[in-house]
Chains A and B, each alone.
Chain A
Amino acid sequence: MAEWLKLIDKARSRSIWMLMYCTGCGAMEMPPAMTSRFDMERFGIMPMATPRQADVILVTGYVTKKTLKRIIYAYEQMPAPKWLVAHGSCPINGGVYWDSHATVNRLDLFLPVDLYVAGCMPRAEANMKMFTELIDMVAKGEARGWEEYEKNKAYYKENQRKLFGYDLVFTDGRSAL
């Protein structure tokens, strides 16, 4: 059974679909990564329209409090296995906007991050290296962010509650899962 799972992981790594959501300034280097110079489609990575059909969500740059709520909704709507990649120095420790009252300085208090990309903004070559790293990690089974989120759900939800001041629920009373 374990050999079948390894084979499935290898197959998953060659068909990662990213969610089309440009959340910040790092999104300017995504079109060069999608077109013929740094072609990412040869790795099997394609942009996809809705969270229910995507595998990876790229948080390209800084995260404001208003956007973080929508990223959490989108992340919870994606079916497992799912990954999250943070670009730039802003999700790590705040970056150039460290003293802004509208941005959130550390992203991994609220969502599990699998991979960080350095730079401000990260170059297109750095984005391609990020894709190859992600493919390697998925093929070996090392990227398990979503399982961490499930195991430590109370911790993440408590942090989100402290940040927003209320629980993130859908209007019919269910939690945002």
Chain B
Amino acid sequence: MRVEEVVKAIKDKFGLEVENPYPRRLRVKIPVDGKSDEERRQVLRDLLQYAKEIEFQHMSFITCVDFIKEGRFELNYGLWSYTIPTMLVVKYDLDRENPKHITVVDIWKPAKIWEQEVHEMFGVEFEGNPRSFEPYVLEDWDSIPPLRKDFDPVQYLKEHPMQGAGYDPLPYANLVEKNLEQPTVQETGGDEGANS
């Protein structure tokens, strides 16, 4: 099967637009447009099951991006095919205030551990995967899930001074937040900064 055939097959079966921005990379987004959560979840599960039938042999990752200004989490399911060859990233939006979702571990086995990581780092609940509710890399964690954009690690270290002692974070943190006003690459004449 070729990359163009995959694009056509997904368009015919599900009515979704597939982008091809770089060679061997496909992206498809499951849009909200008025559908309920159950219908969108069913489309996601059917698409992941269909991908398994059309030569996508490997689940690479499941990850999440926090778009705090738009109030959503975007889940990304990465699938890779060795024989076509191409990558397919399926994107799915979740509400940031109430991130409840369903598991896909019965379709793709590696989801068992990727969903555990997304749950710990972002707080997304995957119903149907009991392993995903257990702690992953943090022990005795008492604050909000750390990879969310409203978690500030410097503030956390100020509240836990035994952990943060030794390096006064205040002066350096201000520098990073200020984001020094510098001209962009086109406006500079070309500093030899990279070669020195």
Output the least CB separation between B176 and chain A (Å): 9
Chain A residues whose CB sits within 8 angstroms of the CB of B146 once the complex forms: 101
B162 CB contact (under 8 Å) in A93, A98, A103, A109: A109
Whether the Cβ atoms of B138 and A102 lie closer than 8 Å is: yes
Task: Let me know if B163 and A99 touch, CB within 8 A.
Answer: no
The reply to whether A165 and B167 form a contact with Cβ atoms under 8 Å apart is no
Cβ contact within 8 Å between A105 and B166: yes
- The interface size of chain A toward B, counting residues with CB under 8 Å, comes to 20
Bound together, the chains give a CA A159 to CA B166 distance in angstroms of 14
| A14 is an interface residue with CB less than 8 A from chain B | no
Dominant SS among interface residues on chain A = loop
Q: Mark B117-161, 1 if CB is under 8 A from A, else 0.
A: 000000000000000000001111001001000000110110010
Complex interface: chain B residues within 8 A of A101 (CB): 143, 146, 153, 156-157, 163
- In whole angstroms, how far apart are the Cα atoms of A47 and B131 in the complex? 37
B164 at interface by CB-CB < 8 Å: yes
B interface, size bucket:
10 to 19
Are A104 and B169 CB-contacts (below 8 A) given A99-B154, A165-B140? no
Once A and B bind, how many residue pairs between them come within 8 Å at the CB atom?
45
A155 on the B face (CB < 8 A): no
Most buried by A among B139, B143, B156: B139
Give CA–CA (A100, B138) in the complex, Å: 12
Report whether A94 and B167 are in contact in the complex, using a CB–CB cutoff of 8 Å: yes
> Contacts A93-B166, A105-B163 hold; do A164 and B153 have CB atoms under 8 A apart?
no
Q: Are A94 and B138 in contact (CB under 8 A)?
A: no
Please judge, given known A-B contacts A94-B167, A105-B167, whether A100 and B162 are in contact too, CB under 8 Å. Answer: no
A37 at the interface (CB under 8 A from B): no
Residue of chain A at shortest CB distance from B146: A101
Q: Hey, which chain B residues are within 8 Å of A153, CB to CB?
A: none
28 contacts between A and B (CB under 8 A): A66-B139, A92-B166, A93-B166, A93-B167, A94-B166, A98-B166, A98-B169, A99-B153, A99-B154, A99-B157, A99-B169, A101-B143, A101-B153, A101-B156, A102-B138, A103-B163, A104-B162, A104-B163, A105-B163, A105-B166, A105-B167, A106-B165, A106-B166, A109-B165, A162-B162, A163-B160, A163-B162, A165-B140
- 8 tightest A-B contacts by CB? A106-B166, A105-B166, A163-B162, A98-B167, A93-B166, A94-B167, A101-B153, A66-B139
